[in-house]
Amino acid sequence: MAAPVRTRSPSAGRRGVDYRLVLSRTIIILAGAAVLELAARSAWLPPTFVAAPTRVVGSLVKGFSTGSLVSALWETTTEVALALLLSGVVGLTLGYVLWRSRVLGEAFMPMLTAMFSSPVILLYPIALVLFGRTHRAIVVQATAYGVLPIIVYTVRALSEVPQVLHRVSDVECLSAWQRARLVMVPAAAPTLATGLRLGVTYILISVVAMEFLVQIGGLGQLIQLSALRFDIPGVYAHVLAVVVLTSVVISGLQAIERRVQQ
Amino acid sequence: MKRAVWIVRVVAVLILALVWEWAGGQGGAFEDVFPPISSVLGAWWDVVRQPSFGADVRITVREVVGGFTIGSLAGLFVGSAIGTSKWLTRVMEPMLFWASGVPKIVLLPILLAVLGAGVALKVGHATLSSFFPVALGTATAIRTVPEIYGRVSRTIGARTWHTAFLVYVPAAAGQILTALRLGFAVSIVSALLAETAVATAGLGFRAIHYYQQLRVPEMYAVILTIFVVAMVANVALERWVRVYTRHFEDDRGARVDIAS
């Protein structure tokens, strides 16, 4: 389903939604689905890797009615939420410590920045060995992946707070708590929001990927199980569920980030 | 200050190594899952001397380079099309952005049906993964080239290909190279991840094979080698891109030679 776009176009409605854009995207998606439906039903493309969209929707409906999709969504969402809580607490704390101590910051930030764009997800066999094939391994691995952008952006956010605000806080004799609550957090909020958004994105990717590879539960496991049963509509249906979940989470986080940056 | 920073780094690495060695040497079940660093280093030396290790490295490199080449070419083409068209930017770019957030590993069963279980599967997975950051980065890079550059080159009579290659490409080069660097990093991860899922060779396969055989020190050795090499390659590429794009900024970007 095409998502509304906020824009200042003259064709925008009262809430700033450009209906021409929504219509264009909907037409493109429906046209693509129609071509796929035709290709699948007339066997232009082999049924081993293309499923008719109507059958995919049928598979989705079946998944919801039997409850398997709902429980998988719940498992995935719970793992993401736990990993976000852990990486948020650890990331914000470590970020603050690295900002406060110039020596520690200069010593470790280059390494953390390098690790930020490194294949942390490839460490998942180590998580499996340490925690077994359990949900704990998924949460720990996702936390390790999501904590890095949170640390990096926390340091950046606190470093970007203008010096004049620190001086004003000194002049007003604010306590440490007042300084944090009234000055630091509001000033750092936009960049912190970006870091948290990136953290959640990385966590989501890590959770779904590990569920797929290790088959412990969640949406990732459903995709693998459908593939093993040669249930191609099921594979596409569950991939679509991942796409929708990812899109909803990313869109929601972007909206929060834009709100904070205003 | 610089000395203090290096002292902190060295001390941190030493403490980590000592804690690891002590924790791993506690014996019992713990040693099975967390071997001491000396065992890991010993296993690393045994693994890299095997002839099959070199073959696995070559296979993985081939998959990464192949996937990145195809993915980045497609990404540059699509990104350029989107970046130069306001309509495509408004309609397609958000959809591309949403699609980029999906973990491509979940598409492995579909790729498996299309490409089989050989090297093509890993190349296809790396292609899919590297396409999105390159396409999005290229679109952004072209869109952020100041309009005045294009207007000036048209005003002085430059031809379209002059404007494209002597004005837009240098002006967008920095961001495009950054997008290509991200695409390369992602293609390394995706080729290796695909190898852990479906493969009979390659570094990712080797790591997961050791895990399945409970050869834990060897598994740690291979995974940490992959991680460190990928991190170093990433940092080196990032530095190179920064130095190279500084050259374009020093040059002030565009130079248009008009054929008289």
**A–B interface: beta-carbon pairs under 8 A:** 147
Contacts of B103 in chain A (CB under 8 A): 204-205, 208-209, 212, 242, 246
Rounded CA-CA distance A105/A32 in Å is: 50
Instruction: Provide the β-strand partners of residue A12.
Output: A18
> Predicted confidence band at A32 (pLDDT cuts at 50, 70, 90)?
confident
Nearest CA in chain A to B207: A125
Distance from CA of B102 to the nearest CA of A (A): 6
Decide if A122 and B192 are in contact by the 8 Å CB cutoff.
Answer: yes
Q: Comparing B164 with B220, which gets the higher pLDDT?
A: B220
- The percentage of chain A sitting over the pLDDT mark of 90, rounded to a whole number, equals 26
pLDDT of residue B260: 32
B178-228 per-position pLDDT tens digit: 899 889 988 998 999 899 888 888 999 999 899 888 888 998 899 888 888
Q: What is the model's pLDDT at position A182?
A: 84
Q: Round to whole Å and give the CA distance between B4 and B24.
A: 30
pLDDT at A47 > cutoff 80: no
Q: In one letter, which amino acid is A160?
A: E
Give residue B28's region: left, alpha or beta (phi > 0; psi -120 to 50): left
| CA distance readout (Å), A123 to A148, B130, B193, B196 | 14, 20, 10, 11
Please say if the pLDDT value at position B4 is more than 90. Answer: no
**Nearest-by-CA chain B residue for A113:** B235
Which residue in chain A has the smallest CA separation from B238? A114
Report the pLDDT averaged over residues A2-16: 48
d(CA A225, CA A233): 12
Higher pLDDT: B71 or A41? It is B71
Mutate to test the interface with B, among A7, A11, A122 (most CBs of B within 10 A): A122
Which one of B6, B101, B216 has the shortest CB-CB distance to A129?
B216
The per-residue pLDDT for range A207-229, each reduced to its tens digit, is 999 999 888 889 999 998 998 88
Q: How many CB atoms lie within 10 A of CB B180?
A: 21
- Nearest CA to B163 among B84, B257, B252? B257
Percent with pLDDT over 70 in chain A:
93
Buried/exposed code over B141-157 (b: 16+ C-beta within 10 A; e: otherwise) = bbbebeeebbeebeeee
Q: Which residue from B94, B110, B112 is facing A5, i.e. has the nearest CB?
A: B94
Q: Single out the residue of B100, B256, B260, B130 nearest to residue B193, CA to CA.
A: B130
Token pair, residue A244, equals 């929708």
pLDDT tens per residue, range A88-100 = 999 999 999 999 9
A126, A202, A230, A248: best to mutate for the B interface, most B CBs within 10 A: A126
Residues of A in contact with B204 (CB under 8 A): 122
| Digit-coded pLDDT (tens) for A176-215 | 888 888 888 888 888 888 888 889 888 998 999 999 988 8
What lies within 8 Å, CB to CB, of B112 at 6+ separation is: A227, B121, B198
Confidence of residue B28 (pLDDT cuts 50, 70, 90): low
Q: What is the pLDDT of residue B30?
A: 64
> A-chain residues within 8 Å CB-CB of B91?
21, 24-25, 28
pLDDT at A86 over 80: yes
SS3 B215: coil
Q: What string of DSSP letters covers A144-156? A: HHHHHHHHHHHHH
Record the pTM. 0.82
Q: B8 and A104: CB-CB below 8 Å?
A: yes
